[in-house]
Amino acid sequence: MSINRVNITGNLTRDPELRVTAGGTQVLSFGVAVNDRRRNPQTGEWEDYPNFVDCTMFGTRAEAVSRFLAKGNKVAIEGKLRYSSWEKDGQRRSKLEVIVDEIEFMSQRQGGAAPAAAPVSTPAPAPAAIPPSVDLYDEDIPF
């Protein structure tokens, strides 16, 4: 069994680009910069090394999210990795990107408060409320 899940937190490297496929599916593309911290062997100082991650989001939520994102915004992303390869000008090219399932805005919007978290996955139904007079023990919970 393999698990394909990734969580990153970083800043947008460019304004998001929203486009629509021939079939009408909305596609939002943006980049996120995340840092890797390493010790410099010559100086012994800790240094940040940036990694630039391409992210893609699909569907109607992509358009809604695009209105809140701009270059420099801090976001938390959860999704899965997707490998793509193609040929251009006779050369084989490839990239690894994150297909975004959930996004949380972590910086404030210009001129206002930070928007609420924007889950991209379909929310689960709320659990039924347990009346306060009921005694509930660990053994009663089915998981």
Domain-embedded: residue 101: yes
- Residue 87's SS3 state is strand
Q: Provide the pLDDT for residue 120.
A: 46
Rounded to an integer, what distance in angstroms lies between the CA atom of residue 1 and that of residue 13?
34
Q: What 8-state DSSP symbol labels residue 25?
A: -
Domain-embedded: residue 139: no
R_g of the chain, CA atoms, integer Å: 20
Domain-embedded: residue 136: no
Q: Provide the pLDDT for residue 128.
A: 47
Can you give the CATH number for the domain in which 14 is found? Answer: 2.40.50.140
Domain-embedded: residue 100: yes
Strands 46-58 and 91-105: parallel
**Cα–Cα nearest to 106, from 57, 67, 60, 72:** 72
Rounded to an integer, what distance in angstroms lies between the CA atom of residue 78 and that of residue 119?
10
Domain-embedded: residue 35: yes
Phi/psi at 61 (nearest 5 deg)? -65, -25
Averaged pLDDT, 75-79: 97
Domain-embedded: residue 85: yes
Encode pLDDT of 4-21 as tens digits.
999 999 999 999 999 999
How many residues can be counted in the chain? 143
Q: Which domain holds residue 40?
A: 6-123
Q: What percent of the chain has pLDDT over 90?
A: 71
Q: How many domains does the chain have?
A: 1
Encode pLDDT of 111-132 as tens digits.
444 444 444 444 444 444 444 4
Domain-embedded: residue 1: no
Encode pLDDT of 82-117 as tens digits.
999 999 999 999 999 999 999 999 987 654 444 444
Domain-embedded: residue 57: yes
Least confidently predicted of 40-54, 69-83, 121-135: 121-135
